[in-house]
Amino acid sequence: MSLALFDLDNTLLDGDSDYLWGQFLVENHIVERGYYERENQRFYDEYLAGSLDILEFLRFQLRPLAENDAERLFHWRDRFMEEKISPAMLEEARKLIAWHRSKGDIPVIITATNRFITGPIAVRFEIDHLLATEPEMKEGRYTGMVSGTPCFQDGKIVHLEAWLEEHGHSLEDSWFYSDSHNDLPLLRLVTHPVAVDPDEILDRHAGIEGWPVISLRQPSTSRHP
């Protein structure tokens, strides 16, 4: 069986779940608006530019998890899923996942966004395998720290290699779908790299390498590679 790897934010979703979570926290007065909006936008801009310091971002992004108990966080997350994530889930993404399943492929989401946010999203897409940045928990509370290597850029390869060894799979005839040039290290490893509504840098690389470019936002231009 072949692997079909999917980035999540701006690939399967019409939006970035990290950024949307920050918006949700601001809109519900869970964090201080001015500071959090400013920093959330700064980190997102740095991500798009390829200059994000992932550890600095995670200290910022995981702090609200450490400042609130799990019951309250899970209640907020349920609302976040309905208000922010459900409208962003792309129907063409569901169709693409279903196409791979029909071929006997194993779908896997691999994302830099932490598991607290992305776990329920993978469930909504009916994908059993999720590789994500892991927020640290101790005695039932989040610490605000990351556990292990962030699943970002080369860190995605670290997470994937561990998963491959654990599950006895390989990258033979593998696929990876992503919108972001931050995923170039992994795109270069798989058999079938596919750029999905790519950013400018990835679009340029896809053109040079001859990789397929598809859209999951515009049904008229969506197609299976």
**Which residues are tagged catalytic?**
7, 9
Distance CA(84)–CA(116), nearest Å, equals 15
Number of other CB atoms surrounding residue 201 within 10 Å: 15
Angle at which helices 17-27 and 33-49 cross, to 10°: 170
Distance CA(196)–CA(124), nearest Å, equals 20
Q: First CA to last CA across the chain, in angstroms?
A: 18
Distance CA(62)–CA(84), nearest Å, equals 19
Torsion of CA 43, 63, 123, 24, to 10 degrees: -70
Angle at which helices 54-66 and 17-27 cross, to 10°: 40
Paired sense of beta strands 129-138 and 141-147, if any: antiparallel
